[in-house]
Amino acid sequence: MTNRVDLPDKSVKDALERALRSREFAASPRMQKLLEFIVLEAMNGRTDTLKGHAIGVKVFGRDVKFDPDGDSIVRVQMGRLRKSLAHYYLADGKNDPVHIRIPKGRYAPQFIIPEPELPTAAATKTKNAKPAARYLIAGAVSALVLLAGFAAYLAFAPAQAPGPAPEREVRKLSDIVNGPVVAVFPYRNLSAKAENTYLQRGLAIELISDLSRFKNLSVLSQDTTVYNSRYREHPQEAGRRIGVQYIVTGSYVLEDNLLRVTAQLQESPSGRIIWSNTYKRHLLSESVFDVQARIVRAVASKLGQPYGIINRHSRHSLLRNGIYAPNAYICVLSFYDYAHEENAANHLKTRKCLEQAIKDRPDYAQAYAALSWMYVDEYRQGFNPRLDAAPPLDRALEMARKAVVLDPDDAFTHRRLANVFAIRGAMELARDEIMKALELNPNNSEVLADVGWIVKNLGDWFTAFFYASKAIALNPGFPPWYLETPFLYHYANQDCRNSLKTANSFYRQDSSILLPHVFMVVAARLCQVEPPGISRHIEAINTSYPDFLRSPGKTLSDMSVPLDLIPLMLDALLESGIRLGRQKGRSG
What confidence score (pLDDT) does residue 270 get?
80
State which amino acid sits at residue 550: R
Per residue in 340-363, pLDDT tens?
Answer: 778 899 999 999 999 999 998 888
What pairs with residue 110 in β-bridges?
101
Inform me whether the pLDDT recorded for 515 exceeds 80: yes
Measure Cα distances from 349 to 342, 346, 355 in Å: 11, 5, 10
State which amino acid sits at residue 185: F
What confidence score (pLDDT) does residue 233 get?
62
What confidence score (pLDDT) does residue 145 get?
35
The C-alpha atoms of residue 26 and residue 271 are separated, in whole angstroms, by: 48
Does 348 or 124 have the greater pLDDT score?
A: 348
What confidence score (pLDDT) does residue 281 get?
85
CA nearest neighbour of 452 among 434, 429, 433? 434
Inform me whether the pLDDT recorded for 139 exceeds 80: no
Confidence of residue 429 (pLDDT cuts 50, 70, 90): very high
What pairs with residue 267 in β-bridges?
246
The C-alpha atoms of residue 259 and residue 256 are separated, in whole angstroms, by: 8
Per residue in 260-272, pLDDT tens?
Answer: 899 999 888 788 8
Beta-carbon-side half-sphere exposure of residue 403 (alpha carbons within 13 Å): 30
- Please return the burial class of 430, using the count of CB atoms within 10 Å of its CB with bins 0-12, 13-18 and 19+: buried
SS3 string of 530-580? CCCCHHHHHHHHHHHCHHHHHCHHHHHHHCCCCHHHHHHHHHHHHHCCCCC
What confidence score (pLDDT) does residue 571 get?
94
What confidence score (pLDDT) does residue 92 get?
75
Looking at mean pLDDT, say which of 6-20, 110-124, 403-417, 565-579 comes out highest.
565-579
Inform me whether the pLDDT recorded for 503 exceeds 90: yes
Inform me whether the pLDDT recorded for 214 exceeds 50: yes
Does 450 or 271 have the greater pLDDT score?
A: 450
Looking at 87-91, 147-151, 305-309, which range is the least confident one?
147-151
What confidence score (pLDDT) does residue 585 get?
38
What confidence score (pLDDT) does residue 268 get?
83
What confidence score (pLDDT) does residue 230 get?
61
Per residue in 369-395, pLDDT tens?
Answer: 999 999 999 998 889 999 889 999 999
Confidence of residue 189 (pLDDT cuts 50, 70, 90): confident
Beta-carbon-side half-sphere exposure of residue 506 (alpha carbons within 13 Å): 25
What confidence score (pLDDT) does residue 573 get?
95
Inform me whether the pLDDT recorded for 144 exceeds 70: no
185 near 204, Cβ under 8 Å? yes
371 near 355, Cβ under 8 Å? yes
Looking at mean pLDDT, say which of 85-99, 113-127, 415-429 comes out highest.
415-429
Across the chain, mean pLDDT equals 78
What pairs with residue 253 in β-bridges?
260
What confidence score (pLDDT) does residue 285 get?
67
What confidence score (pLDDT) does residue 138 get?
35
- Is the bond into 480 cis (omega within 30 degrees of 0)? no
Inform me whether the pLDDT recorded for 193 exceeds 50: yes
The C-alpha atoms of residue 187 and residue 358 are separated, in whole angstroms, by: 40
331 near 357, Cβ under 8 Å? yes
In this prediction, residues 404-414 reach a mean pLDDT of: 88
Q: What residues contact 285, with CB distance under 8 A and at least 6 apart? A: none
What confidence score (pLDDT) does residue 317 get?
61
Counting residues of the chain whose pLDDT is more than 70, the rounded percentage is 78
What confidence score (pLDDT) does residue 128 get?
41
In this prediction, residues 193-209 reach a mean pLDDT of: 75
In this prediction, residues 555-571 reach a mean pLDDT of: 92
Beta-strand ranges (E) seen in 135-270 are 181-184, 188-189, 218-219, 246-255, 258-267
Confidence of residue 475 (pLDDT cuts 50, 70, 90): low
Confidence of residue 243 (pLDDT cuts 50, 70, 90): confident
Helix, coil or strand: residue 259: strand
Which letter does DSSP use for residue 135 in this model? Answer: H
**In sequence order, what DSSP letters do the residues of 311-364 get, joined into one string?**
HHHHHHHHHHH--SS-HHHHHHHHHHHHHHS--HHHHHHHHHHHHHHHHH-TT-
Looking at mean pLDDT, say which of 157-161, 252-256, 291-295, 565-569 comes out highest.
565-569
What confidence score (pLDDT) does residue 136 get?
33
Looking at mean pLDDT, say which of 62-71, 125-134, 426-435 comes out highest.
426-435
Counting residues of the chain whose pLDDT is more than 90, the rounded percentage is 28
Nearest-10 crossing angle of helices 288-304, 198-211: 40
pTM score over 0.75: no
- Please return the burial class of 63, using the count of CB atoms within 10 Å of its CB with bins 0-12, 13-18 and 19+: exposed
What confidence score (pLDDT) does residue 71 get?
82
Question: Could you give the angle at the alpha carbon of 302 between the alpha carbons of 475 and 266, nearest 5°?
Answer: 145
Distance between alpha carbon 486 and the CA centroid of its chain, in Å?
19
The C-alpha atoms of residue 296 and residue 144 are separated, in whole angstroms, by: 28
Inform me whether the pLDDT recorded for 163 exceeds 60: no
Inform me whether the pLDDT recorded for 364 exceeds 90: no
Query: For the stretch 242-272, what's the b/e string if a residue is b when 16 or more beta carbons lie within 10 angstroms of its beta carbon?
Result: bbbbbbbbbbbbbeeeebbbbbebbbbbeee
Inform me whether the pLDDT recorded for 338 exceeds 60: yes
155 near 224, Cβ under 8 Å? yes
Confidence of residue 309 (pLDDT cuts 50, 70, 90): confident
What confidence score (pLDDT) does residue 497 get?
93
Confidence of residue 61 (pLDDT cuts 50, 70, 90): confident
Confidence of residue 520 (pLDDT cuts 50, 70, 90): very high
